[in-house]
Amino acid sequence: MKNIKTQVGIIGAGPAGLTLAIWLKKNGIDSVILERKSREYIENRTRAGLLEQNTVDIFKSLGVADRLIEKGLEHHGVFLSFNGKRVRVPFDELTGGRKITVYGQQEVIKDLVADWISSGGKIYFEAQAERIEDFETNNPKIKFIHEEEEGMIDCDFVIGCDGFHGIGRKTLPKESYTEYSHCYPFSWLGILAHVAPSSEELIYAYHENGFALSSLRSENISRLYLQVDNNDSLENWSDERIWEELAIRLGTEGWELKTGPIFEKSITPMRGFMIDNLQFGRLFLAGDSAHIVPPTGGKGLNLAVADVKHLVDGLLDFYKNNSMETLNGYTETALKRIWRAQDFSNFMTALFHKQEEHGSFQYSMQAAKFDYIAISKAYATTIAENYVGLPFEVFE
Ligand code: FAS
Ligand code: PHB
């Protein structure tokens, strides 16, 4: 039995767990990470691609942004399209210079893992956390299996950064939270292709055939998505059909979609989920373990990092001032941004996805919203400031 003593036991080496461990270490607080997958797996898992201003600022302050600065693509606006009419929402003018950076989540993970390991940080890969015990005491424990051997982490705090399918949320007593869940009647078919992006900036498009998103990973890799039915499957989508449909849905006068070899395809269901309590005793949750947002707002990864910022504030207050006050306010503080992200993600999802037929009341509401964005600086500003991420101070 591996018996490990540390101050903070972290389950999960995603954006939340790794950012937390590095941030704590920069403040002299010891932690250990358990990750059930291999390093190779987590560093190659294709997921998010869009970093808010806050997230980039945090990574820069932690000294883990060298490759992000070198390879990340700063965007100062986004295109919104509705039935072939396209408008641009400029960030500089509407948010005082805040922006987004396009940088794949797997690149973020590579940077964070490299920094953690090179600084002597302890991480156990292919180590499955099985149980969290004594979290109602000041000495919680994590029981885990690593290399077919049982292990235990003996610590002051356990942080469940273990995503939607992890044990963290499942360990919280059911009576300690209310669960909110919303499943959308559609999914996203996502592709990665060896072709230069057809647009300098992202394009979110509503079309009668369904939603489409044009994103990118670099100047020669495009990332694109199509709305498909929940019961659809990749077998129904040849490369030719994907490109044909993307060209129809994203099309606008004087613009042409470039195509190329598709090297990755996946279908992801759209859902919003969250619970309204992120703490029980010395057990805390951060990131997808506590909430899932539809990716239409590009919020998932960024919300995970924002949770970590609030958790670090609390853990520093504990270890520097011997006070649980900030930690005991963590749920209330984090929920303000989580609900904001749920609302914005739902707004973008409802606006750009085909749900009812043209001529329906629902469709007319979508069209009216889009027309209003095109003529109202105030309305466009609400989209811009949510998209680049609201500064932490606005919630204080
Ligand atoms: P993560 O899920 O990233 O990390 C949790 C980690 O915990 C995993 O590595 C897991 O292996 C580990 N773990 C789980 N249980 C464990 C156990 N018992 N023991 C040890 N380790 C355990 N967000 C966007 O903003 N834009 C997108 O386009 C987007 N696309 C997505 C596509 C997919 C298919 C998925 C699943 C998510 C997508 N997301 C997107 C959301 C995603 O980026 C998450 O918000 C982000 O990864 C959240 O980070 P974490 O909270 O760290 O959780
Ligand atoms: C991506 O590039 O993967 C991406 C960008 C913006 C989103 C969702 C996904 O809203």
222-265 pLDDT, tens digit per residue, is: 999 999 999 999 999 999 999 999 999 999 999 999 999 999 99
Q: What is the band of 358 on the pLDDT scale with cuts at 50, 70, 90?
A: confident
Test site for ligand 1: of 146, 288, 289, most ligand atoms within 8 A of the Cβ: 288
**Of 23, 70, 14, residue with least CA distance to 303:** 14
Q: Which two tokens stand for residue 98?
A: 């805040």
Mean pLDDT over 23-46 rounds to 97
Cα separation, 201 vs 79, whole angstroms = 7
Find the catalytic residue in 15, 140, 197, 295. 295
- Enumerate the CATH 3.50.50.60 domain ranges in the chain, comma separated: 2-49+104-178+276-351
Report phi then psi at 180, rounded to 5: -120, 130
Query: Looking at this protein, which amino acid is placed at residue 149?
Result: E
Which residue's CA is the closest to the ligand 1 atom numbered 47? 301
Contacts with 111 (C-beta within 8 Å, 6 or more apart), sequence order: 59, 64, 65, 66, 67, 68
User: What is residue 225's predicted lDDT score, i.e. its pLDDT?
Assistant: 98
Please identify which of the residues 25, 207, 299, 353 carries the catalytic annotation. 299
Widest Cα–Cα separation across the chain: 66
Ranges of CATH 3.30.9.10 domains, the chain: 180-271
Query: Which amino acid is located at 69 in the chain?
Result: I
Q: Is 75 assigned a catalytic role?
A: yes
Q: 180-271: what CATH class?
A: alpha beta
141-146 and 149-154 beta bridge pairing: antiparallel
Residue 91: the pLDDT is 97
For residue range 106-133, list pLDDT tens digits in order.
Answer: 999 999 999 999 999 999 999 999 999 9
Strand order in the sheet with 2-5: 2-5, 149-154, 141-146, 127-133
Ligand 1: nearest atom to the Cα of 42: 9
For the cut 80, the answer to whether the pLDDT of residue 172 exceeds it is yes
pLDDT score for 2: 86
Measured by CA distance, the residue closest to atom 4 of ligand 1 is: 14
Q: Which of 75, 99, 141, 354 is labelled catalytic? A: 75
pLDDT exceeds 90 at position 396: no
Q: Count Cβ atoms below 10 Å from residue 220 Cβ, excluding itself.
A: 12
Return the residue whose CA atom lies nearest to atom 12 of ligand 1: 12
Residues near 218 by beta carbon (within 8 Å), at least 6 away in sequence: 71, 73
Euclidean distance between CA atoms 232 and 243, whole angstroms: 17
Find out whether the beta carbon of 163 lies less than 6 Å from any atom of ligand 1.
Answer: yes
Atom number, ligand 1, closest to the C-alpha of residue 128: 19
pLDDT at 21 > cutoff 90: yes
Which tokens sit at 104?
Answer: 């794949």
The hierarchical CATH code for the domain 2-49+104-178+276-351 is 3.50.50.60
The phi and psi torsions of 160 (rounded to 5 degrees) equal -80, 100
Taking the whole predicted model, whether its pTM rises above 0.85 is answered as yes
Ligand 2 probe mutation, 189, 191, 200, 202, most atoms within 8 A of CB:
202
Ligand 1 pocket, residue 268 CB under 6 Å: yes
Residue range 339-343: mean pLDDT, rounded? 98
1 pLDDT tier (thresholds 50, 70, 90):
low
Of 144, 52, 9, 71, give the one whose Cα is nearest residue 387. Answer: 52
**Pairing between β-strand 203-206 and β-strand 212-218 as defined by DSSP bridges:** antiparallel
Nearest CA owner, ligand 2 atom 3:
49
Q: Which of 103, 124, 204, 206 is catalytic?
A: 204
Contacts of 72 (CB under 8 A, 6+ apart): 51, 56, 101, 102, 103
Instruction: Share the mean pLDDT of the chain.
Output: 97
